[in-house]
Chain A
Amino acid sequence: MTLSRADLNRWGRGLLAAVLLFVTAGEAAAQFSVRPEDPTGLSIREKRVRVIHSTDASVPGTSMHLQQWDPWLAYQRGRSYYFREWGTEDGVFTHLPNRPEAAAATSCGVCHNTPFPSVGAGGNVGISVRVGRNAVHFFGAGLLETLAIQLRAQLINKYDLNGNGYIDVPEESLGKRAYIESSAGHVLDFGSLHDDNGDGRPDLNPVIMFRAVGEDGKARLFNSRGRPASMRDEETVGYDIALGVFASSAGDHQFPSVRMFSTGVFVTIMGILPEVDSSEVQPLGMTGGFLTNDWGRFSNTGAFLSEVLLTGDPYAEKDLSKRPTISEGELDLLDWFMINHPAPALGPQTAQTLKGRELMTEFGCTSCHVQDWEILPADPEKNLPGDRRFFDLETEYNYVANQMQGTLHDLTVPTPGPNGQTLNLPKRDGFVVKDIFTDLRHHNLGPRWREYHVSGEHIRLEAAMFRTSPLWGVGSTPPYGHDGRSPTLDHVIRRHEGDAIESSTAYKNASQEDRDALLAFLRSLVLYQPESLPTDMNGDGRITTAHKINGHDVGPEIFRPEFMLRKTPIYEGWTESPDGDRYFSYALQNVGESYGEYLEALVDRDKDTVPDIIDPDAPRPPVQAKTENEEDVGELLADAGGEE
């Protein structure tokens, strides 16, 4: 068991201190608020508990236990962190960096939520040195992230010939180009592994971030002169890589995982300092112990993390007012929700859209907007992750009902876990990601995209290469371009020059009929509101209007993650409204049971958000442990409470 008693004690102190600062009671609230009685069932159900991070399922209610034992509960609790509007009692805006963009919004969902509620796209936001950034959607983000992890593994497998885990310079880099297959037979060039232009970085496509490795075989952030480490440093013997797929250009919030992206946002936008990893912090001289430097770790969901992940160590911080305010366990659940969120869909197809799909190839769009990518089955020896999701929501347009419909596919396999539990672990099979339409690379699209900033007395080119935007969902996510400065699809296509000049010229010169067909196809690449989607949830091949689970009426069969919880939700059901009409109310009658508030590590009787298991101020006696591991957990509780 990785969660030690000492850990629990230490965490208890840190969390409690953070909580004590914000003694205001009252509901926490949201993009969605905590409203278990919301008759639409879309608000947040459960009160916030600072979920404890764990790396196995030993202690019920900890993050890994939830992920493995009741993955839908982990998903649904993770959803709450996405839509939650963080309030004063959460410590919002208390850890803002000193920059003008800070304190912009109180929820992920303020910017990324269309269609609502989902992890959809949003409007445009401003930044200090550029003209604006369009808020992207995160439908299918887990698939995109897995491709990034897979590509890193494939590149290392292919070019790290001596198997030391990194690319030796120059032995393994000189004269080598990084070629990767997106799917069988479709090869993409990701640039030169060597620093031929002498700028200190391998001449790889900018989507690939690199980290210098020193003679000791460890990643180095800085060279002996205190400058960012480069390939030109004498002490650099090689480098490691990661694919920063969640960014429109290099350096633009470029992170290899959605977890790191969101962690950064918690600090920069909301001033909420995420809690330290449970793994040992390796303080760096200049950073006061706030950064970890183990490039290449993976989160509970298998997300690639690097040292730029900004985490605080509550234990190291002596000033109570500066203690962290979101726990690592909560980040685990948010991560789980986001990597499992359903992918975009293909809307109704007509002869026109089918022709448009063909024209994508004919015009040459698909040379960069690559249609499909293949996730290979997991292979631990090759570090191939496989499909890390626990379900797939297959969507298909029903031409009879004239609506989008879903089919839920379980991607887990029952596995024996600790304490006699049966866990549901992802199978990690292969998966073909269809119609994503990106090569993941960055390209020079000509002058209409470039961005500049002023440095001293000089104006400098800030960004000239931008990632190939994945086109899935593009029909539902205007405006277009990384900067959102193209209001229509026609505008953004005509804006392509540079690497894409031939394709955009083909488009411009095409007949209006052909252009209309192409645009019609793009408009059919859509997002949707998943929680209203008629869906075959139980695999019986039908979608009913009156769905029942374990004898409980849950309304029409739609994609409601709550339906899949281990403890079936009990809704108020058919009821008469104050206005006299009858409707199906999703007001939840058994929040505590269905949301696992009885699980040891989630019990929080004094409602201060710190689980009793680590809360020295929790009411006594401690809760009775409810697993077979009763004695062990009881001891933990006593130990945790005894020291303060």
Chain B
Amino acid sequence: MTSLTLGRRRAAGARAGRQSRRPVFGLPTGIAAGFGLLCLLASTAPVAQAQIIENPKDPFSFNIPHSRVRLIHSTDVSLEGTSGHLRATDPFLFYQAGRQLLNRQFELEHGVLSRPATMDVPLYVGAAGHTTVHGVPSNTRFARDHSASCGMCHSSVYREAGAGPTIASTGGFGRNSTHFYGAGLVEMISQDMRIKVLNQYDLNGNGLIERAEVKESAPVRLSPVPGAEPIDFGNLQPGADGVPQLNTVFRLWFVDGEGQVLRDAHGFRDERVAAFGFSVQPFGWGRGRRMIDGQSTSQGGEGTTLREFYAVASDFHMGMQAHDPTLQGIGKAVDEHGGLASVSLNGAQQFAFGGSTDRGVKLATTGLSMDDPDGDGIFAELTEGDIDAVEFFLLHTPIPAVQPTDTSELGRKILDEVGCTSCHVADWKIEARNEELGFDGDRRHFHFQPTAKKTEEGIYEIQGEVQLLYETLPSGEKQPKGDAFVVEGIYTDFRHHDLGPNFYERRFDGTLQKEHRTAPLWGLATSSPFGHSGNYLSFYDVIIAHGGAATDSRDAYARLSPQRREQLHAFLRTLVLYSSDEIPADINGDGQIAENYVIGEQNYGYERFDARFLFNTPPEYNEYRWIVRPNGRRVPIGLFTNIDALYGLDLPWRVDGDGDGFPDKLDPLPEIPGVIPEEKEGGDHDALTR
């Protein structure tokens, strides 16, 4: 152990109070003074780069005004302050809690960035023994632990689940960070796709596809909306190499006759294999194929569910390990290699593809994981309740908008004519809840609909509307209605395609990835650069680079007159992201957007989707002064005066008496900062575990 981690272990036990800031390890007084001087000379505090920080003195209220308290998972809605309770009773607070976790710049005392630049992320999914491949760069992806917040990479639009920079991933040209607007809809579509395939071919209903079930050709054809041309996702039947011939957006696992997941099986050529299971992985640019013993095996998409994507990324990119039993395999699943995990609090089937990187082998009597897998002295860096909140937020992230001009709609037709929409499929339907067929319906509590309205100035302004999708049960519990929902203008078929050499990726080990997903075009205009590697900077460049499966459309585009090409581009430029809490929005369903939105006595300025306005306990603040926002609208700015009540920090399952970030109900030492007795540091703390 290096002196660094020793210092942090000590720090974690000794000083993690509500008032404490980061540990000041090894900071020479001269440096501190130096910065003081810098401040003085510059007449203001120096700027550093970060995401949203904890700062109760931010008059804009963009920063997070309270210390971090881990959320406790529960499905019992009566346990006030647990994830289950917040979801059912105060969904906008739960949404904001998840949003905070995505935006939050974690600090070292939260356990972030503890193994920076360590190369132990395997180049291939599910590769065995990846934790021991230090020093073998050709078998690893990027180095881990390089940012302190999701928002470092997903930050355009700022403070949203936006797009962002490129990082070296499996090859030198890297991967561009995608946006997560509308991500919940993507997850629900992909889960429906799996159910539809199972309904058609899993005749014995065990969730697996047996050899017998794919003896004959079993083509997977899925219609995005009723009546539309079905999309070809390949065939469940194995090819000559024994591998089902599915599009690589599917990730497979193979099981023996007992249903046990086989970590080293890749197809039906393996005699142990009796069946396979599968998931659809809609998140990520795709990982293509990998040849193993002459078998072309799918590397899948990247992330299967919102929950899994977040938990895995938190570990790899931030060094924050989640103890999330929801993501741990059940039955005969093998974590990281497949099989089913649980259905999440928010209703999404999870899969055993990793994510719960903190296994919770050793649990405190309170249920807190005492594993500390990265050995940085910080326990349970992310809890199952935290992941519940993140999943809930991502399920509800606002969808991208269309911001037209008077003539931009002309280009929409050209998109069809050129043939783009044969893969960039515009609309998808989420089926209504149907227990018999296994559909969950729309699992969201609300939908935020952006619409462009023409203003007096003659421009189209994006305005929003909060549409509630839940019903309130007699118990007071708010439960999603589970209706159908048609997702319009997403422009993807969810498949992976070979688009020719311009889109090939040479992995670090020299192998070639040919397939990448059809990028959803919504939000395109504000998430440049384009392509999985972010190598293309203009619409022209990225479109003309298409080849392979898109050759005909590319050629048709190339034949367009400059004028019609510009019309097409003009339409693509209307597909934008936006700041969900800055645009004017009708949040109370009265059909209007108030200039002065008033709750009780408080005037909040123009009506907008600041989720806090919809909390059970709305915010109160000292009104300091009125300012003008970038969109020209006026709001008051000031400091919140009811932070604990506002954020539910006084609820029984959220109270954190010793201010160490562990709520009392989870904290083995609720009255002493830290979770292990200081004198037993590094030694025996078995007395606290079960």
Contact = CB atoms under 8 A, between A and B. Distances in A.
B146 A31 contact: yes
Given A100-B22, A126-B62, A462-B44, A37 B138 contact: yes
Nearest to B289: A579
Interface string A553-594: 000000000000000000000010111010101010000000
A85 B147 CA distance: 10
B579 A26 contact: no
A26 B105 contact: no
B115 interface: yes
A128 B45 contact: yes
B38 A308 contact: yes
A288 B33 contact: yes
B172 A133 contact: no
B41 to A, nearest CB: 6
A634 interface: no
A253 B117 CA distance: 27
A331 to B, nearest CB: 17
B203 interface: no
B122 interface: no
Contact of A228 (B40, B146, B457, B638): B40
Interface stretch (B210-218, B225-233, B528-536): B528-536
Contacts of B38: 264, 308, 310
B28 A319 contact: yes
Contacts of A485: 158, 579, 582, 630
A95 B45 CA distance: 18
A481 B630 contact: yes
Interface in B455-481: 457, 459
B149 interface: yes
A544 interface: no
B525 interface: yes
A110 B143 CA distance: 12
A76 interface: no
Interface in B22-76: 22, 24-35, 37-38, 40-55, 57-60, 62-63
Contact of A125 (B45, B51, B525, B638): B51
Interface size, B (range): 35 or more
Contacts of A476: 528-529, 537
B162 interface: yes
Interface stretch (B188-196, B325-333, B504-512): B504-512
Contacts of B535: 115-116, 529, 532
Interface in A77-135: 85-90, 92-107, 110-111, 113-117, 122-135
A124 B155 contact: yes
Nearest to B529: A115
A393 interface: no
Interface stretch (A149-157, A185-193, A384-392, A449-457): A449-457
Contact of A104 (B42, B50, B119, B164): B50
A378 interface: no
Contacts of B632: 448, 495
Contacts of B157: 124, 479, 484, 487
Contact of A86 (B116, B163, B638, B639): B116
A40 B506 contact: yes
Contacts, number: 414
**Chain B contact residues: over half helix, strand or loop, or mixed?**
loop
B423 interface: no
Interface in A43-92: 43, 85-90, 92
A526 to B, nearest CB: 6
B530 to A, nearest CB: 10
Contacts of B142: 29-30, 33
A321 B166 contact: no
Given A93-B108, A454-B57, A488-B525, A105 B118 contact: no
Contacts of A578: 291, 509-511
A487 B48 CA distance: 22
Contacts of B22: 96, 98, 100, 102-103
Contact of B62 (A22, A24, A131): A131
Contacts of A30: 117, 142-143, 168
A485 B148 CA distance: 22
Given A26-B134, A132-B158, A312 B51 contact: no
B660 to A, nearest CB: 18
A123 B50 contact: no
Contacts of A131: 60, 62
Interface in B524-566: 525-526, 528-529, 533-535, 537-538, 540, 544, 562, 566
Interface size, A (range): 35 or more
B418 to A, nearest CB: 18
A115 B59 CA distance: 34
B52 A126 contact: yes
Interface in B113-167: 113, 115-119, 134-135, 137-138, 140, 142-143, 145-149, 151-159, 162-167
Contact of B152 (A110, A310, A448, A577): A110
Contacts of B46: 251, 253, 264, 268
Nearest to A98: B24
Q: Which of B47, B157, B577 has the most CB of A within 10 A?
A: B47
A116 B534 contact: yes
Given A113-B165, A117-B174, A488 B526 contact: yes
Contact of A99 (B48, B103, B511): B48
Interface stretch (B9-17, B357-365, B620-628, B647-655): B620-628
A471 B31 CA distance: 36
A585 B4 CA distance: 39
A291 B37 contact: yes
A374 interface: no
A448 B146 contact: no
A132 B159 contact: yes
Nearest to A30: B143
Given A268-B49, A321-B26, 12 more contacts: A21-B3, A85-B116, A92-B116, A92-B117, A95-B28, A103-B112, A124-B159, A126-B159, A253-B47, A448-B631, A459-B637, A483-B158
For the complex of A and B, the 9 pairs showing the least CB-CB separation, nearest first, are: A87-B117, A29-B143, A40-B172, A123-B155, A288-B30, A116-B166, A101-B48, A124-B158, A290-B30
